[in-house]
Chain A
Amino acid sequence: MEHASLVQELSRIVGARFVRTERAELATFASDGLPTLRRTPALVVLPGSAQEVSSVLATLSRLGVPFVARGAGTGLSGGALAESPAVLVTLTRLSRILAVDAANRRAVVEPGVVNASLSRAVAPFGLMYAPDPSSQTACTIGGNVAENAGGPHCLKYGVTSNHVLALEVALPSGAMVRLGAPGGEPWGPDFVGLFVGSEGMFGIATEITVRLVPLPAQVRTMLADYTSLRLAGEAVTAIIAAGIVPAALEMMDHNAIEMVESSAYAAGYPADAAAVLLVELDGGAAAVDADAAATKALLDRSGARTVRVARNAAEREKLWQGRKKAFGAMGRISADLVVQDAVVPRTALPDVLERIAAIGERYRLRVTNVFHAGDGNLHPNLSFDASDPDQVERVHAASDEIIRTCVAAGGTITGEHGVGLDKLAYMPLVFGPDELGLMAAVRRVFDPDELANPGKVVPTAQCREWRPWSGA
């Protein structure tokens, strides 16, 4: 198929101005939130409706052209990168909230709806959409579904997978299929559960029914600071073991505190602390009072130097500011930043953090930890300058060691950012050839020609071919 006639066919579906082919335009789609990889798509197509998505996919399928779906491009694993001849299908035009059903606590949205705008839209009904990835003011619900996105408040409320009830999906053939029901029960096997987190390799969600949760009546936020990472890590375990389920339980290490406090986002964290814990409790007023008193007592006993409880919304906002702006503050220090993502059992946090610090020292890299401590979901951030090949090399080597350290501690290679391209090589650390082969085979149920987001998630070289039983 000639490039020109592909452009013509797609233009007929979506209109010429929604097919982008200029080199300069394609360059703006050549990267996502992961700074170390760039890929240039053959072209970018921006459908404006589910019907157009279906027609675009049907056309690409007929021509055997691979495609990659993309929302806001905030992903941190290179999952939304497309390399020619692959076409990038950008879904930002599908940005309508189709329905809010307050009585049934749910909403129906198009994939391009921005995460934070959904919570804003349902707040007047006393409801919120719980998963809140750090990029929530930019990232889309469609992208969240593809990645099974998390966020600080997933400790209490669960990740994206716990909040998606039903999906309308354009399969890679262009055929439309509805998975799940608005009440959350499956029609057959749990295809919704399978689709969430499939990183765009099973099709494109064109309509998403999500569960909403009541806005908490009361929110209480407190900050504890420590002279050692180990004490902070142990406090995390103590809180969870006491039966307290904080809405969020975040940790920042010394490097993160220092960066924030020396930036315009200074939140008043003790600059000499080895670590701070940010604990948020929410729920009914009496429940929050009781949990807050218990948490404060635990923190005091855990060796915290000080425990500050926000007395009002302004103080709460300020305590969160340091956590939320940490990435912006890091951006000031160095040209580039790799945000790593791995999970370890909660009790392994103190040991693993010490090992990560040692890895950073060995590779002469500044490692900053800002992460979801309650889930054991680490985000070691590596600051570097991408124009220096030696630094890039050291970042790769350090990332590799960090991930291996987490897996060795009983953890996994990604908690919320996805595998994409970035973690492809690490998949054999957690899965054998049979599991990888089965993943590839299940994917072919949805996408027999393997056109959707080719080359991601499953490292094909390490797969056992999953074939029908031979009787041997």
Chain B
Amino acid sequence: MSQATAGSIAASAPSDLRGLAAEVRAAGGRGTPVEVRGSGAWWTDAPQGVTLLSAAGLDTISDFNPADLVVTAGAGTRLDRLAACLTAKGAWLPLDPPGPPSRTVGGVLASGAGGPLAAHYGPARDHVLGLVVVAGDGTVVRLGGRVVKNVAGFDLAKLVIGGFGALGVIAEVHLRLRARPGADRTEMWTGSRAWAVRTSAAALAAGATPAALEILSPDLAAELGWGGGDGWVLAARAVGAGAGVAEELELIAKAAGSHSVLTAEGDDSWTVWRRVVGRWPVVLRIGAEPGSWADATALAERHVGRLLGASVTAPRGTVRVGAERCSPEVIGQLRTEAAGRNWPVTLERADAATRAAAGIYGALSPSVARLTRELKATLDPAGILAAPLLA
């Protein structure tokens, strides 16, 4: 077994499924907990007493049938490498989580994250047809399948996606793809927060269904160079046939009531968005609603203090905020108040100490907390998979 590095930390890095399962079993035998890493770019440190297990070696794209728009890739496959392979054959994975393009498929699915494209295509879970997973006892299970519609058995893959590696180690994924769109255009408008609230509501009320409709706080917009002023920015991305793209963007322009300040073709500007948001040391994801994103952003600001930025997937109401640092106590207070409005707050990213003290999920109802613990005990009976789901 080779030794490799994930970030700066030594990790065992098996190169295939059998090796990965053996590592998990060995960790169980030693009684030493493991945390899984992909590229090491998202969670960059390791908690005390935890061995890192890198899935980066499982990076084979083993089965890609462009006509069926389905691909099978190892969990360690980098998103940029996968994208290049898909693009060459006219296929597209509309999944744009924050972070550098070197992030791995497995890491992204483990964090459950989506990005701006989740507005139309859903978060990570909606792209997955099936998973090969190593459970906490080293058993390899094959969940779901390779076809786009499938209701055979319970949908256990949903638990592993967004389970941060604590409910099973993702080894291989079967993904649903789309055909690469002919046209792909983004337009941006700028204005006050109140304007952004009105505009996003008006666009949705007018029946807009763009690929992305993302609202950015002034500091994030300025850092990206989108808009150029100190206002909030509404960025709409439409894909498809040229005429349809223009029509969709016109609908939003009408809601915005002004000329767009910037137009971009393709996904380069969104790659920049992913890099910048991916640099935030602390990232919190708040599950608000389309009509309450501004309240959720304000609430985060009130608790966390100065934010590095906020990015809102308007059609879903998902608010992502970044901070330089945030104490577990503050996260707890934010979660309690957000829970009063029925908004879950997921700690997507922080240093190991904060993750452990705050837990990735928080303010769960006692019954959901109990289900989570029992589920964990089922999938990882010896508690070998260390990612701290609950504080």
- B158 pairs with A188, CB closer than 8 A: no
Q: Give the CA-CA distance A149 to B10 in the complex, in Å.
A: 46
Task: Indicate which residue in B152, B286, B290 contacts A103 across the interface (CB closer than 8 Å).
Answer: B290
- B152 pairs with A412, CB closer than 8 A: yes
Encoded as 1 (CB less than 8 Å from any A CB) or 0, chain B from 368 to 382 comes to: 110110110111011
Stretch at the interface among A84-92, A340-348, A355-363: A340-348
A289: nearest chain-B partner, CB-CB: B243
Residues of B within 8 A of A376 (CB): 68, 147-149
- B142 pairs with A435, CB closer than 8 A: yes
- A185 pairs with B149, CB closer than 8 A: no
Chain A interface residues toward B at CB < 8 A: 102-106, 126, 147-148, 150, 154, 158-159, 161-162, 171, 175-179, 181-191, 193-194, 196-198, 201, 213-215, 217, 237, 240-245, 283-291, 294, 343-347, 372, 375-377, 410-419, 423, 427, 430-432, 434-436, 438-439, 441-446, 457-458, 466-469, 471
Chain B's nearest CB lies how many Å from the CB of A81? Answer: 17
Q: Which 7 residue pairs are nearest across A and B when measured between Cβ atoms?
A: A185-B287, A287-B244, A193-B158, A243-B179, A214-B207, A468-B381, A290-B241
- B290 pairs with A445, CB closer than 8 A: no
Residues of A within 8 A of B153 (CB): 419, 427, 430-431, 435-436, 439, 457-458
Contact A415/B150 with A187-B361, A188-B368, A243-B179 known, Cβ cut-off 8 Å:
yes
The answer, yes or no, to whether B281 is at the interface (CB within 8 Å) is no
- B147 pairs with A344, CB closer than 8 A: yes
Chain B's nearest CB lies how many Å from the CB of A420? Answer: 10
Residues of A within 8 A of B90 (CB): 241, 243
Task: Indicate which residue in A103, A283, A423 contacts B291 across the interface (CB closer than 8 Å).
Answer: A103
Residues of B within 8 A of A446 (CB): 371
Chain B's nearest CB lies how many Å from the CB of A462? Answer: 12
Residues of A within 8 A of B146 (CB): 345, 410
Contact A432/B142 with A242-B179, A344-B147, A414-B152 known, Cβ cut-off 8 Å:
yes
- B178 pairs with A287, CB closer than 8 A: no
Chain B's nearest CB lies how many Å from the CB of A380? Answer: 15
Residues of A within 8 A of B38 (CB): none
The answer, yes or no, to whether B126 is at the interface (CB within 8 Å) is yes
Residues of B within 8 A of A344 (CB): 147
Residues of B within 8 A of A185 (CB): 285-287, 318, 343-344, 346
- B180 pairs with A190, CB closer than 8 A: no
Contact A287/B243 with A177-B371, A431-B153 known, Cβ cut-off 8 Å:
yes
Chain B's nearest CB lies how many Å from the CB of A328? Answer: 24
Chain B's nearest CB lies how many Å from the CB of A181? Answer: 5
Task: Indicate which residue in B68, B246, B381, B389 contacts A469 across the interface (CB closer than 8 Å).
Answer: B381
Residues of B within 8 A of A442 (CB): 154, 156, 159, 375, 378-379
The answer, yes or no, to whether B317 is at the interface (CB within 8 Å) is yes
Chain B's nearest CB lies how many Å from the CB of A184? Answer: 6
Per the 8 Å Cβ criterion, residues 122-166 of B in contact with A are 122, 125-126, 135-143, 145-156, 158-159, 161-163
A432: nearest chain-B partner, CB-CB: B142
Chain A's nearest CB lies how many Å from the CB of B18? Answer: 15
Most buried by A among B138, B201, B316, B382: B316
Residues of A within 8 A of B342 (CB): 181-183
Chain A's nearest CB lies how many Å from the CB of B30? Answer: 10
- B368 pairs with A469, CB closer than 8 A: no
Q: Give the CA-CA distance A438 to B154 in the complex, in Å.
A: 10
Task: Indicate which residue in B29, B139, B286 contacts A471 across the interface (CB closer than 8 Å).
Answer: B29
Task: Indicate which residue in B180, B205, B372 contacts A188 across the interface (CB closer than 8 Å).
Answer: B372
- B247 pairs with A427, CB closer than 8 A: no
The answer, yes or no, to whether B331 is at the interface (CB within 8 Å) is no
Chain B interface residues toward A at CB < 8 A: 28-29, 65-70, 90, 112, 122, 125-126, 135-143, 145-156, 158-159, 161-163, 167, 178-182, 201, 204-205, 207-209, 240-244, 246-248, 251, 285-291, 315-318, 342-344, 346, 361, 363-365, 367-369, 371-372, 374-375, 377-379, 381-382, 384, 389-390
Can you report 10 A-B residue pairs in the complex whose CB atoms are below 8 A from each other?
A177-B368, A183-B318, A184-B287, A186-B287, A196-B155, A197-B155, A284-B244, A414-B152, A435-B153, A445-B371
Chain B's nearest CB lies how many Å from the CB of A77? Answer: 9
Task: Indicate which residue in B68, B143, B149, B390 contacts A154 across the interface (CB closer than 8 Å).
Answer: B149
- A441 pairs with B152, CB closer than 8 A: no
Chain A's nearest CB lies how many Å from the CB of B266? Answer: 15
B238: nearest chain-A partner, CB-CB: A287
Residues of B within 8 A of A288 (CB): 244
Task: Indicate which residue in B143, B150, B152, B159 contacts A427 across the interface (CB closer than 8 Å).
Answer: B152
Q: Give the CA-CA distance A324 to B75 in the complex, in Å.
A: 42
Chain A's nearest CB lies how many Å from the CB of B172? Answer: 14
Chain B's nearest CB lies how many Å from the CB of A440? Answer: 9
Residues of B within 8 A of A283 (CB): 209, 244
A127: nearest chain-B partner, CB-CB: B207
Residues of B within 8 A of A287 (CB): 240-241, 243-244, 247-248
Residues of A within 8 A of B288 (CB): 183
Most buried by B among A184, A188, A194, A435: A188
Q: Give the CA-CA distance A417 to B29 in the complex, in Å.
A: 42
- A182 pairs with B361, CB closer than 8 A: no
Residues of B within 8 A of A191 (CB): 368, 371
Q: Give the CA-CA distance A189 to B112 in the complex, in Å.
A: 10
- B149 pairs with A241, CB closer than 8 A: no
Residues of A within 8 A of B136 (CB): 469
- B382 pairs with A469, CB closer than 8 A: yes
Q: Give the CA-CA distance A150 to B181 in the complex, in Å.
A: 25
Q: Give the CA-CA distance A176 to B167 in the complex, in Å.
A: 24
Most buried by A among B162, B167, B181: B162
- B162 pairs with A189, CB closer than 8 A: yes
Residues of B within 8 A of A190 (CB): 112, 125, 158-159, 161-162
